[in-house]
């Protein structure tokens, strides 16, 4: 199997878009057709989540390279929800989509190894191509994820500058020293470490010079996005915040390389819930697909993705 980075590049070039659809199945936002299940027991609610996400996969499978299930919306339903997640991951893979697990996992030593073993790689128990990782316990906690990703032709996206309004509370703190003795924020220090990892001898770069290590950088911070693209030239950037959080297609442009690769842009609510919430028919499927197509065009018009 090709390395994760090559699979991602190939999928983006095939669909001519960097758009990733986030699967965030909020029970109170699902179409009216699922109301009877939502009002049932926990297994009924999990069925609603599973069926809805699979319909979304059907709507976008031929027009985007990947989906990103947010694990929390499945885990809040307990064992029934985790079974629904397993079904959605399997279904998305059968439809030819890459799957990025958004769990923001991070821990020390053997615990980090257990997380990596659980999620990373198509032959892992969860069968995901990639996982989001929290680095703020320290650089050593990244090693098990990096090692497992390389062994299993998988990838990771490490939190660097997140899209939420409070990200600056800690991530923007100025450090007293850096490797070159110039001022550096905490998130820039994380980027420096990711750049180092991307240049290690066993980093699996694809034919476009990109590797299995990625960084999460929000569209809500476009200036920082430009800086971080320069600091991590071999790393993929996963850009959340486009759409419902207020980030525009123009805001994401600084995350790309000139050939249109190097970044993927996530949109969740703006696509998943683009329909009339009172619609009891299945026209909501068309609304989801239309929203994804619209986002694709916006990204092609405003970013180097138009060069794909």
- Output the pLDDT for position 52: 95
Q: Which domain holds residue 131?
A: 4-307
pTM of the model: 0.95
pLDDT in tens, 192-216: 999 999 998 777 789 999 999 999 9
Between 1 and 117, the more confident residue is 117
Res. 104: pLDDT tops 80: yes
Tell me the CA end-to-end span of the chain in Å, nearest whole number. Answer: 23
pLDDT band at 262 (very low <50, low <70, confident <90, very high): very high
Compute the mean pLDDT over every residue in the chain, rounded to the nearest whole number: 94
- The reply to whether 16 belongs to the active site is no
- Output the pLDDT for position 176: 72
pLDDT in tens, 173-194: 998 765 666 788 999 999 999 9
- Rounded to whole angstroms, the Cα distance separating 132 from 81 reads 19
Res. 95: pLDDT tops 80: yes
- Rounded to whole angstroms, the Cα distance separating 230 from 224 reads 10
- Domain total of the chain: 1
**CATH number of domain containing 214:** 3.20.20.70
Chain center to CA of 191: 17
Q: Are 67 and 89 in contact (CB under 8 A)?
A: no
**pLDDT average, residue stretch 4-25:** 97
Name the active-site residue from 16, 68, 104, 234: 104
């Amino acid at each position: 199997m090709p390395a994760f980075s090559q699979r991602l590049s190939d999928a983006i070039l095939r669909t001519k878009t960097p758009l990733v659809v986030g699967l965030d199945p909020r029970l109170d936002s699902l179409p009216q057709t699922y109301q009877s299940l939502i009002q049932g027991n926990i297994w009924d609610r999990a069925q609603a989540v599973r069926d809805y996400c699979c319909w979304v996969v059907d709507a976008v499978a031929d027009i985007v390279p990947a989906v990103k299930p947010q694990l929390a919306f499945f885990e809040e339903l307990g064992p029934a929800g985790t079974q629904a997640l397993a079904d959605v991951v399997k279904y998305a893979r059968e439809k030819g989509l890459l799957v990025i697990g958004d769990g923001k996992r991070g821990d020390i030593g053997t615990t980090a190894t257990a997380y990596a073993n659980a999620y990373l790689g198509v032959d892992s128990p969860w069968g995901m191509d990639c996982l989001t990782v929290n680095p703020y316990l320290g650089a050593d906690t990244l090693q098990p994820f990096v090692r497992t990703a390389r062994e299993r032709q998988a990838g990771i996206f490490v939190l660097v500058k997140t899209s939420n309004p409070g990200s600056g509370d800690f991530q923007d703190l100025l450090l007293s020293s850096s490797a070159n003795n110039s001022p550096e924020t905490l998130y820039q220090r994380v980027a420096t470490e990711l750049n180092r990892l991307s240049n290690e001898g066993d980093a699996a770069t694809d034919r476009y010079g990109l590797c299995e290590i990625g960084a999460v950088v929000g569209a809500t911070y476009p200036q920082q996005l430009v800086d971080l693209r320069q600091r991590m030239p071999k790393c993929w950037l996963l850009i959340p915040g486009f759409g419902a959080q207020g980030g525009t297609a123009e805001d994401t442009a600084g995350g790309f390389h000139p050939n249109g690769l190097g970044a993927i842009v996530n949109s969740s609510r703006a696509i998943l819930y683009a329909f009339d919430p009172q619609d009891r028919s299945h026209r909501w499927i068309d609304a989801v697909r239309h929203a994804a197509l619209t986002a694709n065009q916006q990204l092609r018009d405003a970013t180097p993705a138009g060069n794909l």
